[in-house]
Amino acid sequence: MEIPVEQYFINEQSDFFNYMVDKQLFKSRQTYHDYLTRLRYVSRLFRLDKSLTREKVAEIVEELRRTIPERQGYNSMRGVGDLASGLNRFLEYVESDYKKKLDDSILNDEKEVERSTTLSKTEKDAIIKARVGQGLFRQKLIEYWRGCSVTQCHTYPLLMASHIRPWRKSDNTQRLDVFNGLLLTPNIDKLFDKGYISFDKKGRMIYSDLLPVSDRIILGVDSAMRLQQMEDGHLPYLQYHRDNCLL
């Protein structure tokens, strides 16, 4: 079965969003969403992934200009300019060191911890295992949540130990903090990790506009879902996730 052309960009969407936020490219959260919307539009017509080049961007922009009369959206020179801006920003991401490091992020993170001169070997082992949801961090989450943080599923081998503030954006204390972790079923874990869902101050599940209602139904999540418990220790981590990770 052939992969829909749009899927290539969707596979990069979360990392591209994180790139823009990390670089603090814009002051308004809406601007980040505008760039995703523009690129989602272009991705329905052209393949957008890590193979994108400057020459390919120029070809796409020229084709978008040529087909202005044929399109329903972005059918003006200003609209094409907006799309071109999105494409050039995505190309910056593709060519960036940020993108190059993503594929090797776990290995790079482990090397960083191993090089530390302030951590004991026991602490290094615990932090590295926390990176992949194992060891002490996972055990602490099991003891705290006693099941999935949302659904209360108790089949522990299926549950994922997930950091709220991403591991690579946390210091070594935060990486082992039980309040910086959720224990989630695989579908909820992936939605949370990729920024399609988050949780508000009262623990209620909130959704990115980029997650269609039809997909919510397929994935078995709804607006009634919430974290089974909340403490003050969770609040700054969840605030960070809402501000920096929710698409």
The string of pLDDT tens digits covering residues 116-171 is 566 566 655 655 555 554 567 888 898 999 999 999 999 988 898 889 998 888 88
Chain centroid to CA 58: 28
pLDDT digits (tens, 9 = 90+) for 46-105: 999 888 999 999 999 999 999 999 988 899 999 999 999 999 999 999 998 887 776 555
Residue 156 and residue 142 in contact, taking contact as beta carbons nearer than 8 Å: yes
Higher pLDDT residue, 97 or 185? 185
CA distance 153 to 182: 13
Structure tokens at 90: 């995505």
Inter-helix orientation angle 135-145/121-131, to 10°: 60
Give the whole-number percent of the chain exceeding pLDDT 70. 85
Mean pLDDT, range 175-182, rounded to an integer: 91
Dihedral over Cα of 208, 213, 215, 218: its sign: positive
Average per-residue pLDDT for the chain: 86
Domain boundaries in the chain?
Answer: 5-101, 105-244
pLDDT (0 to 100) of residue 64: 95
Q: What are phi and psi of 163, to 5 degrees?
A: -80, 140
**Tell me, what's the pLDDT at 134?**
58
The predicted pLDDT at position 68 comes to 95
